[in-house]
């Protein structure tokens, strides 16, 4: 028989639980507005499988710049204005710097150590410090001669097989990132590592998109065995997991081996390992930071340069204006360099407009670590918030005729700089932003100096206009398209050949650099 004390304790517990539930229910009723959904499915059927950023922008026009959506197992919010994004991701970065937990990309496939997927933990902050040290201004100065030199090889490949420009972007980006991360002297030094990087990058992109994998929405499914009929994700993970481990470990261990043999050049990994003093936690941070550099640059660079090629074919007057600036400032006796950026404001504006017109990462997810209130709305802990970069770079109140490619908005009209939007927010901003911008600028400038990019023609001479359509996923490049890439003149061909020969006389190794604090 229950005593009066037991009854009183039970009653008190029920009252407390009811109070907590009622308090949470009232808070939940103050979530930002959003479209009504269906039982169980929520808003799942209202989210398209492609170009979600446009659908999210349309919802923002109806429900406001913070929109709540629900799918099975997840509630998330879309941020469609620069103010909301900066208020939360920048001003409140101490609690808005987590990532959504992706079971597929971390626990199952093996990217659990990846910095880009980590929450705002002490390990994450330590890794970010290492990235700032190894990719800071001092390091960039060491990388600039290599980036300038690498352009000659890039242009040679473009001259030899202009139809294959996407693969040229891919291999050039891989060569640069492998050099910076590990000091590899070109991808021909180890074709296996190059293949590891490209395949590892593909696995990363396929498994880190929110809402694609059922196991991310219903984490309990991670315990389902491989043989179960619906466990396709387990079978995918079983194939990918050993490969991911090799992708993370092989280039790192190779760099350590070269260091021990005294044959390692300067790189992010080698410079930081010299100061690690054998600390396993620091070495683990260096290892995952290095693979982040390797994978983080490849597809974003491919996407950006592909959009650039498409823009030049679609807007020949922009291309001609940029080429005229290069001809006047640089001439035709040498290639443009990174150091010419301040003297080429229109070319720099072209680069900005590429990032605004088609940002390679259009949706940027963060998660909040604890309950918060914003503008009177309740934002529960663990909520995923997605910055709609597309929405803010296509805000007609800021960028008129936003769907058109108009570099003059930056070079003449004083439009707000959009590069900060393209490279992330708050504590999760891209640590390699200085290198990425330098590489993209010099790639665009040297291309403009030596090639004409125009619309392709079919076998009957009919013009084939590229369609402005992008690939789904975490990184959004254009769907495959064709353009004509032809050298501007014989003088341009001679310049490319002379630059290639000159590059052979330059050291392939990066200069030793000091680590920024």
Nearest CA among 134, 143, 135 for reference residue 337: 143
Q: H or E element: which one contains 385?
A: strand 384-388
DSSP assignment letter at 41: T
Q: What angle do CA 453, 457, 462 make, to 5 degrees?
A: 135
* DSSP per-residue string spanning 295-357: HHHHHHHHHHHHHHHHHHHH-HHHHHHHHHHHHHHT-SSS---GGGGGG-HHHHHHHHHHHHH
Residue 410 CA to residue 355 CA, distance in Å, equals 12
Q: 3-state DSSP call for residue 409? A: helix
Tokens found for residue 178: 């492998």
446: tokens are 């040297």
Identify the CA nearest to 116 among candidates 129, 132, 104, 128.
128
CA 201/CA 174 separation, integer angstroms: 11
Tell me the Ramachandran region of residue 376: left when phi exceeds 0, alpha when psi lies from -120 to 50, beta otherwise.
Answer: left
Residue 29 tokens, joined:
């009723």
Residues in the chain: 517
- Binding-site residues for heme, in ranges, read 430
Q: Using CA atoms, how far apart are residues 21 and 13, in angstroms rounded to an integer? A: 12
CA–CA dist 112, 451 (Å, integer): 43
Binding region = 430
Q: Which two tokens stand for residue 271?
A: 């410079």
Compute φ and ψ for 69, nearest 5 degrees. Answer: -130, 150
Instruction: Pick the closest to residue 72 from 44, 33, 46 (CA basis).
Output: 44
What tokens does 484 get? Answer: 């004509």
CA separation for the pair 25, 60 (Å, rounded): 24
Cβ pair 329, 344 in contact under 8 A: yes
């Amino acid at each position: 028989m229950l005593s009066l004390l037991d009854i009183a304790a039970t009653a008190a517990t029920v009252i407390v639980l009811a109070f907590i539930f009622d308090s949470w229910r009232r808070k939940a009723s103050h979530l930002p507005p959003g479209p009504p959904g269906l039982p169980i499915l929520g808003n799942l059927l209202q989210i398209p499988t492609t170009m979600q950023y446009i659908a999210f922008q349309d919802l923002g026009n109806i429900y406001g710049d913070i929109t709540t959506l629900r799918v099975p197992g997840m509630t998330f919010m879309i941020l469609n204005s620069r103010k909301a994004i900066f208020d939360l991701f920048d001003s409140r970065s101490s609690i808005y710097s987590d990532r959504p937990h992706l079971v597929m990309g971390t626990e199952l496939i093996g990217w659990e150590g990846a910095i880009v997927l980590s929450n705002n933990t002490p390990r994450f902050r330590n890794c970010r410090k290492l990235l700032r040290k190894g990719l800071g201004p001092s390091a960039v100065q060491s990388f600039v001669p290599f980036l300038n030199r690498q352009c000659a090889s890039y242009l040679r490949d473009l001259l030899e097989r202009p139809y294959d420009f996407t693969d040229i972007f891919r291999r050039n980006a891989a060569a640069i990132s492998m050099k910076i991360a590990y000091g590899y002297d070109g991808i021909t030094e180890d074709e296996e590592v190059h293949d590891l990087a490209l395949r590892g990058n593909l696995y990363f992109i396929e498994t880190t998109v929110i809402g694609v994998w059922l196991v991310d929405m219903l984490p309990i499914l991670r315990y389902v065995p491989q043989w179960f009929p619906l466990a396709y994700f387990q079978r995918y993970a079983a194939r990918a997991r050993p490969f991911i481990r090799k992708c993370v470990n092989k280039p790192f261990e190779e760099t350590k081996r070269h260091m021990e043999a005294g044959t390692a050049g300067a790189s992010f990994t080698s410079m930081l390992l010299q100061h690690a003093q054998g600390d396993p936690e620091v070495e683990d941070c260096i290892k995952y930071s290095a693979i982040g550099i390797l994978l983080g640059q490849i597809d974003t660079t491919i996407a950006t340069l592909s959009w650039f090629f498409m823009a030049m074919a679609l807007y020949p007057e922009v291309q001609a204006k940029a080429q005229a600036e290069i001809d006047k400032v640089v001439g035709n006796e040498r290639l443009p360099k990174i150091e010419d950026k301040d003297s080429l404001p229109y070319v720099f504006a072209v680069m900005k407009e590429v990032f605004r017109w088609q940002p390679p990462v259009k949706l940027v997810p963060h998660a909040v670590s604890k309950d918060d209130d914003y503008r009177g709305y309740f934002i529960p802990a663990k909520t995923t918030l997605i910055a709609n970069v597309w929405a803010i770079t296509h805000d007609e109140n800021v960028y008129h005729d936003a769907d058109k490619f108009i570099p003059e908005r930056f070079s003449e009209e004083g439009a707000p700089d959009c590069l900060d939007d393209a490279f992330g927010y708050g504590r999760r901003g891209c640590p390699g932003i200085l290198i990425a911008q330098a590489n993209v600028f010099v790639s665009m400038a040297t291309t403009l100096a030596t090639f004409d990019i125009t619309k392709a023609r079919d076998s009957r001479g009919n013009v084939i206009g590229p369609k402005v359509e992008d690939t789904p996923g975490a990184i959004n490049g254009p769907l495959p398209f064709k353009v004509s890439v032809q050298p501007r003149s014989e003088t341009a061909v001679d310049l490319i050949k002379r630059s290639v020969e000159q590059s052979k006389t330059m050291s392939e190794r990066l200069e030793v650099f000091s680590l920024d604090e």
